[in-house]
Every structure is written in C-alpha cells, then in structure tokens.
C-alpha cells in the first residue's frame, strides 16, 4: 500500500486538523496531505463523531478535555504546564465522581504501587490493588520452557497474570483501572480483558526508569542510534 493510501498523521507537516487560526475561520481540509485520514476516511470519521452523541462518551470526553485545560496556566511568561499525571488522574477521577479505583501493577514496581495507593487513599479513594503475579501460575503451565525463565532452570517463576488482574478489577467493579508498569504484551492482554475504564500511569521500560520516550529522545545520539538503522533485507 502506498503511503498516500494509508493514514499517516505522523508524517504530516501541515496539521490542517488543528490550524492556528481564529475560531470563525474554521478548518480548510484542502490543505491536508493526500494521506490525511480526513480525506481518506471521511465517512468513518463522521461515524466516530456520532459516537459523541452517546451521553456517556460525551460527558466523559468533556470532563477529560476540561481536565486537559486545567493542566495549563497562562502566565506573564506564556503558557505553563502545572499538573503531574498522578494529579491528573486524581483530578479527573474526582470530576467523574469515581469512588473506587483499581491498580494493576508489576511486581517490579511494588514500592511505587505502595506509594501510589497511599496517595490515592489520602485523597479519599478506596483502592483495590493487584500484583501481576497474582494466581501464582508457574511459567511452565503457560508453555514456557525451563531455559526461558529469567532466573534460570530449577527456579520457581510465576507468570504475569494480566487476565487475573483484569478479572479481579472487573469483579470489584472499580470505577477506573490504573496500569502501573505492566510489561509490553501483558498490558495488551489486560486491556483485552478489562471491562472498566482504563488509564495508564506508567509504561514499563526496564532500561530508562519507565520513561520509554527517553529512547526516542536519544535516538539521534550514538547511544541509541541503532533504533534508526534500517532492518536488514
């Protein structure tokens, strides 16, 4: 498929969808590139817009946008940011009237989980927290070979159990599930099974202190430029 036939916002230099103009000037879609989803898939985007007529979607997205607005302040030095993501989660949860929050965390971040639960409880939320090793499913039981265990053959290793984490949070009927440091793929499975709204506090990155974007910021440097090298043909 040629690039002009597939949505490619990441390659757009125009950003006609969010023009820097006064409100009465509106959007000029003609300025958008050929690969713009607004040109390629107008019917689908109309269908998406119609979903905001659903009262739940509309109200939740309205509150999320108000929360976004509240994360900035206009100062004499210009626009400044002011809320951390932890504060954002607390503020949005309060706006939405959430009382009970769920935390699905990685065992490698148990100290961070304890701190977060303490913060959330101090703000008045009831918190259900579930570690990724819940259920104690031996890795061999999901098909791993003994030599594929991190600590080596002969050692017990419980597999991460994102399905168990999701089912417990579903069962507890939490208002919002917060993901903290689940592995790539385990987060995918958690999202597949979780039936309550989800947000992510942190994505696991074992190398960068759970700041995956650090690798992108360093991709032009000698330390991480391997990321930009072309795949061998």
Tell me which residues touch ligand SF4 (CB under 6 A). Answer: 9, 12, 14-17, 32-33, 36-38
Cβ-based nearer residue to ligand SF4, 46 or 206 = 46
Instruction: Report d(CA 53, CA 63) in Å as an integer.
Output: 15
Cβ-based nearer residue to ligand SF4, 8 or 158 = 8
Cβ-based nearer residue to ligand SF4, 13 or 154 = 13
As to burial, measured by CB atoms within 10 angstroms (0-12 exposed, 13-18 middle, 19+ buried), residue 129 is buried
Give ∠ CA 44-46-49 in degrees, rounded to 5. 115
For the CB of residue 121, give the shortest distance to ligand SF4 in the complex, in Å: 41
Cβ-based nearer residue to ligand SF4, 2 or 147 = 2
CA distances from 14 to 29, 42, 201 (A): 10, 18, 31
Residues 6+ apart with CB under 8 A from 130: 102, 103, 104, 105, 164, 165, 168, 169
For the CB of residue 15, give the shortest distance to ligand SF4 in the complex, in Å: 5
For the CB of residue 37, give the shortest distance to ligand SF4 in the complex, in Å: 5
Backbone region of residue 47 per phi and psi (left: phi > 0; alpha: psi in -120 to 50; beta: other values): alpha
Task: Compute the half-sphere exposure of residue 28: CA atoms within 13 Å on the CB side of its CA.
Answer: 7
For the CB of residue 33, give the shortest distance to ligand SF4 in the complex, in Å: 6
For the CB of residue 44, give the shortest distance to ligand SF4 in the complex, in Å: 12
Cβ-based nearer residue to ligand SF4, 38 or 214 = 38
């Amino acid at each position: 498929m040629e690039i002009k036939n597939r949505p490619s916002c990441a390659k757009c230099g125009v950003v006609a969808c969010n023009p820097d103009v006064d409100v009465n000037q509106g959007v000029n879609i003609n300025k958008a590139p050929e690969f713009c989803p607004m040109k390629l898939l107008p019917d689908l985007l109309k269908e998406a817009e119609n979903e905001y007529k659903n009262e739940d979607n509309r109200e939740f997205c309205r509150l999320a946008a108000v929360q976004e607005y509240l994360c900035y302040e206009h100062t004499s030095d210009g626009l400044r940011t002011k809320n951390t993501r932890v504060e954002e989660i607390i503020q949005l949860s309060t706006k939405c009237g959430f009382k009970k929050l769920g935390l699905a965390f990685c065992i490698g971040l148990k100290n961070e989980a304890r701190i977060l639960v303490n913060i959330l409880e101090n703000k008045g939320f009831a918190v259900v927290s579930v570690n990724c090793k819940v259920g104690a499913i031996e890795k061999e039981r999901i098909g791993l070979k003994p030599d594929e265990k991190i600590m080596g053959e002969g050692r017990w290793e419980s597999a991460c159990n994102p399905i168990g984490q999701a089912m417990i949070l579903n069962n507890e009927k939490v208002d919002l599930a917060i993901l903290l440091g689940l592995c790539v793929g385990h987060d995918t499975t958690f999202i597949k099974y979780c039936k309550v709204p989800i947000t992510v506090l942190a994505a696991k990155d074992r190398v960068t202190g759970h700041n995956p974007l650090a690798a992108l910021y360093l991709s032009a440097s000698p330390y991480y430029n391997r990321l930009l090298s072309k795949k061998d043909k």
